[in-house]
Amino acid sequence: MSEGQIRQSLSGFYDVFSDGKMYRTRARGNFRKRRITPLVGDRVTFESSTPKEGYILEILPRDNSLTRPPVSNIDQGVVVTAVAAPEFSTNLLDRQLIALEVSGIQPVIYFTKTDLIEDARYQEFEELAAGYRKIGYQVCLTREPFATAGLDQLKATLADKETVIMGQTGAGKSTLLNHISPELTLATGEISTALNRGRHTTRKVSLMPVAGGLVADTPGFSSYDTLTIDYRELGQYFPEFLALSSGCRFRGCVHVNEPGCAVKDALAAGDLMQSRYDNYLLLLTLLKNQKPIYNKKK
């Protein structure tokens, strides 16, 4: 029996990396009975007679998991955000950050398409980036798109970590990956062509070695699941609100109409980003009006 990590799943096969080698395995039949699906990123115990034939015996406890892409044990999510084309929205950015926070994944913000905006608009993004850095988020923003300084910063962030790269369609996720790891382009294109052969049912998920870490190869990942948290919990996923909430007069303060609210005091004093608070209110209303989902698929 050996221990390893699932690096790729494809058509019911799981490629497990262990001691520098890759082993092709299947999940044992009792996984299906127990309704357990192994995920890329899972740490597992397995046995194999040859590198091409083996069985996964047990999935070790997960730190976290995502449904889109279906991966587990992710350390961080790089949110690729275009400053223009598609039009920039703090609301979308904040929703992506919250989705990661809810999953227990550290967000990193990477701004693209900075060549499409004037200097004055770029200054506004400098201020925005400073606001997010103050919250504690790492932000990559350079005047020239994909400038060496920004790429080097990101490469250092990827080292020794497992990362998902997410962002709206057209934000430049694939271009960013190609800049960080040029040797990937050919490989990913060739593999997907060879696998698909006109069938669109192939669901391949893999973790690829990039810049000394592992990156989930999910170029199509642009959305995030609808949040299914209770609206009263939302403030916990805004790190700057969470840090202040112990100073609120009421426990369980949702920072809207309550007196003695430390978050609203900080906002009035100009210590919080107005856009973050506005997006918080929008999301709060959305969550309040959301009908409970009783038959949510696990």
pLDDT in tens, 50-72: 899 999 999 999 999 888 778 99
Closest listed residue to residue 256, CA positions, set 285, 230, 291: 285
Residues 131 and 53 in one domain: no
Ligand-binding annotation for 285, yes or no, is no
- Is 179 annotated in a binding site? The answer is no
Checking if the pLDDT of 188 tops 50, the result is no
Could you tell me if 11 and 120 lie in one domain? no
Q: Are 203 and 259 in contact (CB under 8 A)?
A: no
The model's pLDDT over 158-169, given as tens digits with 9 standing for 90+, comes to 999 999 988 887
261 is in an annotated binding site: yes
For residues 98 and 9, membership in a common domain is answered with no
In a domain, residue 224? The reply is no
For residue 206, the domain's CATH number is 3.40.50.300
Q: What is the domain count for the chain? A: 3
- Examine the fold and report which residue of 216, 249, 264 is the final residue of a domain before the chain moves on: 216
169 is an annotated ligand-binding site residue: yes
Do the annotations mark residue 99 as ligand-binding?
no
Residue 147 falls inside a structural domain: yes
How does residue 205 score in pLDDT terms, banded at 50, 70 and 90?
A: confident
pTM for the model: 0.86
The reply to whether 144 and 165 lie within a common domain is: yes
pLDDT confidence band for 171 (50 / 70 / 90): confident
Q: Does residue 297 sit within a domain?
A: no
Asked if residue 157 belongs to a domain, the reply is yes
The domain of 182 spans 66-216
Taking alpha carbons only, the member of 105, 111, 102 closest to residue 283 is 102
Residue 160 shares a structural domain with residue 58: no
Are 209 and 109 contained in the same domain?
A: yes
Q: What number of CA atoms fall less than 13 Å from residue 13's CA on the CB side?
A: 12
11 is in an annotated binding site: no
CATH of the domain at 285: 1.10.40.50
252 and 121 co-located in one domain = no
Say whether 112 counts as a known binding-site residue.
yes
For residues 27 and 125, membership in a common domain is answered with no
94 and 120 in a single domain? The answer is yes
Q: Is 173 annotated for ligand binding? A: yes
Q: Annotated binding residue at 114? A: yes
